[in-house]
Amino acid sequence: MKGFLFAVSLVLLAGGAHAQESDSDFRTRRNAVTISASLFAYGSDPAYGTECSYARFFCPYVGVSGGLSFQHWLDDVTPSTDASSRSGISYHLKDDDSKLELIQLVVGPVLRTPDISFGRSERLHLFYQCEPGLLVNFLANESFIYARTYEDGRHLLEETQRARNRDGQTTAWRVRSSVMLGTGLGLFAIGYTLSNQDPYTGRRHVFFDDMQLKSDMPTRRFTHEFFVSATYSF
């Protein structure tokens, strides 16, 4: 978070310094690079993440963007704790320390409203930005170890089997809305995103001995995101 705040300061300072040297600002530039820091909620399950994106504007109000989103979910939600083989032998999930981390490709249009200028020499500009987009999930190849113990003569032995995830939600939609404050070539934003992303999609499709495990993971209609971002236009 300290690194993000430092990046925000650099963007705004650079944008303000450039504005003093030139009459151009973000409204006359067609390229923009954005970095954002986010907090997510899927029901009561939290996550944090970051996103880096590039946008190309065809006019001051319409553009297209693409980027990568990284998410780290804090609740270690796992598949069923019990599994059975085709022969009916029962296994139990061993202690699992894997963390749910997601990577997504994000593409979509960028829409801006005309800005309201204020402040000294009207160098501050306030406007609204909307980004409907498509999320493409890079599903992680996760695996979980299930074990059973049994006696072999005088010895207590352990047998393990590995379960892996297959399939899952590969695409989702999202709508990102933000209030933007610009000065020179720098922009700062605070906003909210609504999407139908299922962060547990990979772990809902875990197979043990070629049979899909039952899942008690919570199902929600939407994932919510609150974010702050810094943008540099060029």
- The pLDDT of residue 187 is 96
Separation of alpha carbons 233 and 56, rounded Å: 10
Other CB atoms within 10 A of residue 90 CB: 10
- The pLDDT of residue 166 is 82
CA distances from 217 to 23, 162, 210, 214, 220 (A): 55, 20, 20, 9, 10
Q: How many CA atoms lie within 13 Å of 107's alpha carbon, on the beta-carbon side? A: 4
Class of domain 2-233 (CATH, top level) = mainly beta
Ordered by start, the domain boundaries in the chain are: 2-233
AA identity, residue 43: G
Provide block-wise average pLDDT over 10 residues at a time, the chain (234 residues). 51 46 75 98 95 96 97 84 86 77 96 92 92 91 85 83 84 97 94 96 87 84 97 96
DSSP secondary structure letters along 10-56: HHHHHHHHHHHH-S--TTT--EEEEEEEEEEEETTEEEEEEEEEEEE
Is the pTM higher than 0.95? The answer reads no
- The pLDDT of residue 83 is 87
